[in-house]
Amino acid sequence: MTASTVLILGGTGEGRRLADLLRVELPGAHVVSSLAGRIATPRHPAGSVRVGGFGGVGGLATWLREHRVCAVVDATHPFAARISAAAAEATAACGVPLLALRRRAWSPGSGDDWRCVDSMEEAAALVRTIASRVLLTVGRQELGAFAGDRHTWFLARCVDHPDPPLPARVEVLLDRGPYTVAAERALLDERGIDAVVTKNSGGPATAAKLTAARERALPVVMVRRPACPHDVPEVSDVDAAVAWVRHRLAVPADH
């Protein structure tokens, strides 16, 4: 690989769009998208793709050196705190520039009834006091936090089937966004949902459930994002990430 290798830590729509744009706008760069491998059938971006972990900070640092990476864009999920922290540490050790590409967080609007918490455990403790039938959209790896609740009925929507432990009263719905407000409204009505639990992932693909919950005057237990690593520049726009990579590679804007 050349010294113009760019690593995208991906798995998000923003990461896929960034890979697509870089392939067109910076054809001389070698773009590698890394996916964690936690989804059985991930949507692959354009260009080179690697799947699986790096083996911690040391493994990632070794990979960066061996592949002569000149820039890293962390376009992982806003809740992928572990890989984001590892990326910050590994790039600092190697002297490789790092940019965080994060979609903007959702924010409550008029008519929203959000109950914000800092952890999945707090969400599980709160929801059992305010609801009996809950739409749970927190990802398959977080369902264990609700396993001790034997009274609440959950509709757990996941991309892949979750592993135990699971709540005692749960229906698993395998589905993948984007979702429409009409479909989310119908789901809430058909299942008799009286509360929604979700992460503040941001972005339009899964925001329809928040609109539907507002229309039905349902409470939403919203898990706040984990803190991002300090001293890592951050953008929320894919075009801004392209410009950052272009600058790192010293490619003229009219190239």
CATH number of the domain within which 136 lies: 3.40.50
Per DSSP, 250 falls in state T
Give residue 39's pLDDT.
Answer: 62
- d(C-alpha 99, C-alpha 233), whole Å: 5
Within a domain: 178: yes
176 Cβ contact partners less than 8 Å away, ≥ 6 residues apart: 159
| Residues 81 and 157 grouped into a single domain | no
Instruction: Report the CATH number at residue 86.
Output: 3.40.50.720
Q: Which of 24, 53, 2 is nearest to 246 (CA)?
A: 24
| Residues 87 and 187 grouped into a single domain | no
Domain that holds residue 153: 113-223
As averages over each run of 10 residues, the pLDDT of the chain (255 residues) reads 79 93 91 80 79 93 96 95 95 97 95 97 97 96 95 96 95 94 98 98 94 98 90 95 93 59
Q: Give the CA count within 13 Å in the CB-facing half-sphere of 181.
A: 8
Within a domain: 22: yes
| Residues 149 and 194 grouped into a single domain | yes
- d(C-alpha 173, C-alpha 158), whole Å: 6
| Residues 51 and 88 grouped into a single domain | yes
Domain count within the chain: 2
- d(C-alpha 66, C-alpha 189), whole Å: 54
Within a domain: 255: no
Q: Which of 180, 194, 117 is nearest to 152 (CA)?
A: 194
pTM of the model: 0.88
